[in-house]
Structure 1
Amino acid sequence: MAAKSYPVELTAPDIEPYRKGNTGIEFVTSFDSGVPGPHVAINAITHGNEICGAIALDTLLKQGVRPVKGKLSFAFVNHMAYSRFDPANPDASRFVDEDFNRVWVEDRLDGKEDTVELRRARELRPFFDSVDLLLDIHSLGTYSKPLMICHGLEKERNFAAEVNFPAYIMCGSGHIVGKRIIEYTPFNDPKNGKVALLVESGQHWAASSGRVAMDTAMHFLRVAGVVDPAVIERNLSPEGKNPPKAQIWEVTGGLTAKTEDFRFAEEYIGMEVIEKAGTPIAYDGGETLVTPHDDCLLMMPSYKQGVGMRKLRLCRRIG
């Protein structure tokens, strides 16, 4: 099954007015209340083709949102890739040289490699070192239901459960190499209170992903406690108010293509729950791949071709 094309229902905002910022780092803007409290940050465009986060930050900056305690920052992180976004070819601007959400490994950050994304990561590293609570806004390649991702530490699960939006909280890794921003060492230390969460807001360019991105940001800021509740009230959509208790799932494994002849047993979009262990879900060359346990949720199927490509994450409900 080849990757599908999807309509672009969102309009990518012009972020050039935010280039200078006020932190000495391009496209990073911070506001300090002068009142003790955490440093809270929201990221957009970690991937340049995922524009819903840019829409949310553009809206909040235009509203003049300021913290009532602590510090609040807005960061357009991979602006280099985003500047190439073209609605006629929207997948092409995901990154410039490499996936920005896999470079957060000290050996690479401290090393001598030179890519566009590594240079930007090194610029942003002191900023992320100062952040206590981070929301990284992303979107998905299919019409999957939205989901929140945390690496899985207890502090992350607890904070994500308080945010309680979207309706699925997914705990654990699921990629093959590198580290995501939410796994960068300061956030992935169980001995401190720093927490980083990643929201997948829905299909990249679906109108609903813009709404989910803003609703998630509002619930995140509600728990962080750094903005006036009136900000949250005016920005929550009707669908974002009074959400049900979120389900918590753990990533138990994944499927990675071993051959060019990888195909799913059905056309999955993500978040399907397969009732019985041993149910075929994919074929890879001559191998049949099956669910490893009952009630197995299929998370983030990828239709991108290539040996070594992570195709699917497998999850079990917990809590």
Structure 2
Amino acid sequence: MSDRRIEPAFLPGLPTGHGPLPQFAVQLQPPDLSPWRQGNTGLPGIMRFESAEPGPNVVVSSLMHGNEIAGAIVLDALLRDGIRPLRGSLTFGFLNLAAFDRFDAADPTASRFVHEDMNRVWDRAILDGSRDNAELARARALRPLFDRADILLDLHSMLWPSEPLILSGGTEKGRNLAASLDTPNLVVADGGHRSGPRLIDYAPFADPQSRPTACLVEAGPHWHPDTVDTTRIAVLSLLRRLGMVAAQPPLPGPAPRTRFATVTEAVTARTSQFEFVRTFRGGDVIEREGTLIARDGATQIRTPHPDCLLVMPSLRPSRGHTAVRLARLA
């Protein structure tokens, strides 16, 4: 997909501003995870398979957020197909089962987590600390799994309209891993969120001198069938390039050119009055430097440079949470 250059864009039907969230169409059925709930590693929801041939320890994780079901649909289908690695070890993880169990298509945004966002706790000080809740307990139980991983692919999806993308963190190794996938073809290097570190920011993955590598796939809208297709291609392309599964038929047509961007500013909502001036879509490019894109109370948010890529704008950001990331295309 090419850049959608705008000055600026508007999407009718998804108003920015305050008040209740709009209703989102849920076009996916949550998968039946009962065969995998017990797991085979001693950890619920964690399925690990080993080959007799040496190779990397690969972890593919889903359900970091309980309402992001596309990744779980893909991993469930691959497990039911009997997937096994030709080399190394392959682990599929369904991470936040407690939140997933609360999923309700009539209120699909309510089951993102039970107590707190599990993708904001991946810091050793937090994990070693005394604070406790459902997500922290689960993260602590999962920690050894990620401490042993050579490669992590963390599967996510998006609430607001956006071009699919891969977040590679801030390392060259993460960028290279992201670029090896067949899709999505937009790779964004970023430093994460002020509200807490993601799993791909966890020390073994974020250290540029260490071997473990991770990236995060944002495959499309939470509950849309295309997101499942994108996720499946991303997972299988990784495993194919690592020699862990048999070669797959090539995608129809020429492969899209990978595009790279680097976040120059992460905009955090400082007030409860944050509001975009238009309903932007992730992937929009604002051509002119200094273009007004949002107001946060009395503060104006303007593009810091020309050709500014908007990364995953959150049209109803909560105070203290990321509203949008502004990036420069390479």
Q: TM-score range by the shorter chain?
A: over 0.9
Q: State which of 287, 311, 317 in structure 2 corresponds to 1:299.
A: 311
Structure 2 gap ranges (5+): 1-15
Matches within 5 A, 1:33-112: 33-112=51-130
Q: State which of 310, 314, 317 in structure 1 corresponds to 2:322.
A: 310
Could you tell me how far 1:4 is from its partner in structure 2?
Answer: 2.9
Give the secondary-structure state (helix, strand or coil) at the position aligned to 2:300: strand
For the pair 1:195 / 2:207, whether they are aligned, the reply is no
Higher share in helix? 1
> Which portions of structure 1, spanning 4 or more consecutive aligned residues, are displaced by more than 3 angstroms?
none
Give the secondary-structure state (helix, strand or coil) at the position aligned to 2:206: coil
Could you tell me how far 1:85 is from its partner in structure 2?
Answer: 0.5
Could you tell me how far 1:192 is from its partner in structure 2?
Answer: 2.2
The residue type equivalent to 1:274 in the other structure is I
Structure 1: distance between partners of 2:169 and 2:271: 28
Could you tell me how far 1:172 is from its partner in structure 2?
Answer: 1.1
Matches within 5 A, 1:1-319: 1=16, 2=18, 3-229=21-247, 232-233=248-249, 242-318=254-330
Mean CA deviation greater in 52-61 or 187-196: 187-196
The residue type equivalent to 1:49 in the other structure is N
Structure 2: distance between partners of 1:55 and 1:49: 12
The residue type equivalent to 2:140 in the other structure is R
TM-score, normalized by length of structure 1?
0.94
Aligned length: 312
Structure 2: distance between partners of 1:96 and 1:82: 9
Could you tell me how far 1:259 is from its partner in structure 2?
Answer: 2.5
* Paired residues of 1:165 and 1:243 also in contact (CA < 8 A): no
TM-score, normalized by length of structure 2?
0.91
How far does the alpha carbon of each residue in 1:201-228 deviate from its partner, in whole angstroms, 9 at most, with x for none? Answer: 1111112111111111112212222112
Give the secondary-structure state (helix, strand or coil) at the position aligned to 2:265: strand
The residue type equivalent to 1:120 in the other structure is R
* Paired residues of 2:170 and 2:206 also in contact (CA < 8 A): no
How far does the alpha carbon of each residue in 1:280-299 deviate from its partner, in whole angstroms, 9 at most, with x for none? Answer: 10112223211000000011
Higher relative contact order (CA 8 A, sep 6+): 2
Mean CA deviation greater in 218-227 or 106-115: 218-227
With over 3 angstroms needed to count, the CA separation of the structure-2 counterparts of 1:176 and 1:131, relative to structure 1, is same
Structure 1 gap ranges (5+): none
Could you tell me how far 1:246 is from its partner in structure 2?
Answer: 1.1
With over 3 angstroms needed to count, the CA separation of the structure-2 counterparts of 1:40 and 1:257, relative to structure 1, is same
With over 3 angstroms needed to count, the CA separation of the structure-2 counterparts of 1:195 and 1:208, relative to structure 1, is same
* Paired residues of 1:156 and 1:195 also in contact (CA < 8 A): yes
Q: Percent same amino acid at aligned positions?
A: 44
With over 3 angstroms needed to count, the CA separation of the structure-2 counterparts of 1:305 and 1:133, relative to structure 1, is closer
Structure 2: distance between partners of 1:95 and 1:300: 20
Structure 2: distance between partners of 1:63 and 1:112: 41
With over 3 angstroms needed to count, the CA separation of the structure-2 counterparts of 1:160 and 1:305, relative to structure 1, is closer
* Paired residues of 1:138 and 1:198 also in contact (CA < 8 A): yes
Cα RMSD over matched residues?
1.5
* Paired residues of 1:174 and 1:313 also in contact (CA < 8 A): no
Structure 2: distance between partners of 1:104 and 1:4: 31
Could you tell me how far 1:242 is from its partner in structure 2?
Answer: 4.7
With over 3 angstroms needed to count, the CA separation of the structure-2 counterparts of 1:305 and 1:187, relative to structure 1, is closer
Give the secondary-structure state (helix, strand or coil) at the position aligned to 2:210: coil
